[in-house]
Structure 1
Amino acid sequence: MERMGVTETFAGISLPGHLHTQESLSFATTFQFRPTDVLIATYPKSGTTWMQEILTLMFSHGDVLPAKTIPNWERAPWLEQIYFRDALQDTAARRLITTHLPARVLAPALQQSKAKVIYVARNPKDVVVSFYHFHHLAKFLPDPGSFDTFLTRFLEGTVHYGSWFDHVKGWLGQRQHLDIFYVTYEELHQRLGAFLGCPLGPETLRALEEHCSFVAMRDNTMANYSLIPSEIMDHSQGRFMRKGVVGDWRDHFSPLQNALFNRLYQEEMGDSDLQTMSQRQTSGD
């Protein structure tokens, strides 16, 4: 497959060349957002697919047909990826767009618009575990090595897509400049209704509860990436929707790794608004 072993470097971070080119990345920085656009921004493995499914159901007022017949990368295409312009439904009244790019790359374009941004964060210990397993599945990502090696690179911010700490703090820092809604993976999705101006009626809520459960998403071919050829994702290595549980990191971290992570987290996030909210989530208690 094309550019499978290529790494693109853009704005100081490494990205898989199979999905990105310098041209597609540059296009993302100058994209003309509309006031009606909704941008999902996440660090990898932080609940992106979950949010794509929730918003699909909200925008369709509970009609599950789009979510069951259209792949999520077409319903909410990735702004920085090479296929974006072909996938974007440009005539849609409300365009749903997804990105893993850091705020410093997209903020200038977003600040010129009134587009809404939904930022999803997840306990970074669960993120690194999920990202590690995803590296075994995705052939366009480098060999992660041992978990200890990968964890070290994650803490250094040298993995693909850069530093989790910089990503979260960067988007948090835009809250005074953008129309942004910040939510954690561990929180409920019902708060989105007021932010998006989409009152959730009983039928919509029922559809959200049924379709957006982990089991339903895991078995939905439009969301679980099972349609991706095995040359790109080695499905024998596991599922894209692996567990979706909170606290899975406890089965992977040694006491020493946990202590190291906690110390660096305090150093990086101690002064941020996320510290109080996430202190219990990232602790070993």
Structure 2
Amino acid sequence: MTEAELYSVYKGVYLSKAIYPPEALKYYEEFSFRKDDVIIVTYPRSGTIWAKEIVPLILSGGDPASVGTVPSWHRVPWLEVWTTRKLKLEQRPSPRMFASHFHYNMMPPSFFKTKPKVIYIMRNPKDVFTSSYYFFGSLLHLVKPGPLNEFLHKFLDGKVMFGSWFDHVKGWLSAEDKDRILYISYEEMIADLKNSLSRIAQFLEKPLEADVLKKIAEQCLFSSMKKNKMSNYSEAPREFVDQSKSEFLRKGIAGDWKKLLTEEEAEHFDAVYKEKMKDVKYKFVWD
């Protein structure tokens, strides 16, 4: 099926009609944040599920029950999806935890007024593209990626669900009130998970002892998460994802794009990246 059949356009960005119907977006736009809310924000395939394992463990002081008894999509719900309005989020105790794939300029009015904490995770866009190429084929409500080169051009032009990776990252890097936003990369987390956990804990004003951080790090290893039915999406509704085509948690590594893109495709990607990110001052670890 085509983009016109499966997607609607919300604030200039493609969204799945099935997952983001008008009533879900209305709920999102009217949502009331609290100052101590924590929002994990990512462009898709940038470490969202990993962060949804990390943040509850940190806020619970390392209690494994925080990730072992509640499905990921309920423990840290996406604010903009249709099921969220049924979760009675206004009754949850603080600090509440949420996730979003939305661009900075798509956040609702309460976000800018209340100014909750944001953990913004970035990932090498070539790996984001690679993960998306496999992932889009497994989700039943998304346009199938089709031939690799065709999907590459769609991705670089922002003609995919959630729009342009470049616009998403540049928008959040240009956000106001940066003292309430922690910027961290997927690659930093892979290279030194314990240090990354410590940074996140300090940002959340929940400093933890070294032994607790060590236990959380072990719980958050990719191999551990793949075994956790509350995190690996094996319990997700079958009408949502077909994991026989691609697992929700696929590899959890950096550099997998090297096995997918040809030298010519990688060079084209780099040229587009260089042009679109030329005015960005942030130092990315993959540069």
What's the TM-score, normalizing by structure 2?
0.91
AA in 2 matched with 1:145: G
Segments of structure 1 that go 5 or more residues without pairing to the other structure are none
Question: Structure 1's 177 and 244: CA in aligned 2 closer, same or farther, altered over 3 A?
Answer: closer
The aligned residue for residue 257 of structure 1 is 265
The aligned residue for residue 284 of structure 2 is 277
Q: What are the Cα deviations for residues 178-215 of structure 1, in whole angstroms up to 9, with x where unaligned? A: 61111111113221121110102134212211110000
AA in 2 matched with 1:17: K
Displacement of 1:170 in angstroms is: 0.6
Displacement of 1:177 in angstroms is: 5.9
Q: 2:28, 2:80 within 8 Å by CA — same for their partners in 1?
A: yes
Displacement of 1:28 in angstroms is: 1.6
Counterpart CA distance in 1 for 2:8 and 2:230 is 28
The aligned residue for residue 94 of structure 2 is 93
Q: 1:15, 1:161 within 8 Å by CA — same for their partners in 2?
A: yes
Q: 1:57, 1:204 within 8 Å by CA — same for their partners in 2?
A: no
The aligned residue for residue 122 of structure 1 is 123
Q: 1:117, 1:178 within 8 Å by CA — same for their partners in 2?
A: no
Spell out the pairing of 1:98-117 with structure 2 (5 A cutoff): 98-106=99-107, 108-117=109-118
The alignment of Structure 1 onto Structure 2 pairs a total of residues equal to 275
AA in 1 matched with 2:207: P
The aligned residue for residue 33 of structure 1 is 33
The aligned residue for residue 237 of structure 1 is 245
Spell out the pairing of 1:1-285 with structure 2 (5 A cutoff): 6-89=6-89, 90-106=91-107, 108-176=109-177, 179-188=180-189, 189=196, 190-274=198-282, 276-278=283-285, 281=286
Counterpart CA distance in 2 for 1:219 and 1:108 is 39
After superposing the two structures, state which structure 1 stretch, 109-118 or 125-134, moved more. 109-118
Q: What are the Cα deviations for residues 52-88 of structure 1, in whole angstroms up to 9, with x where unaligned? A: 1000100110110120110011110111011112225
What's the TM-score, normalizing by structure 1?
0.92
Q: 2:27, 2:85 within 8 Å by CA — same for their partners in 1?
A: no
Secondary structure at 2:62's aligned position in 1? coil
Q: Which runs of 4+ in 1 moved over 6 A?
A: none
Question: Structure 1's 26 and 229: CA in aligned 2 closer, same or farther, altered over 3 A?
Answer: closer
Q: What are the Cα deviations for residues 67-120 of structure 1, in whole angstroms up to 9, with x where unaligned? A: 011001111011101111222543312100100011001164322013101111
Root-mean-square deviation (CA, aligned residues, Å) is: 1.6
Counterpart CA distance in 1 for 2:110 and 2:69 is 32
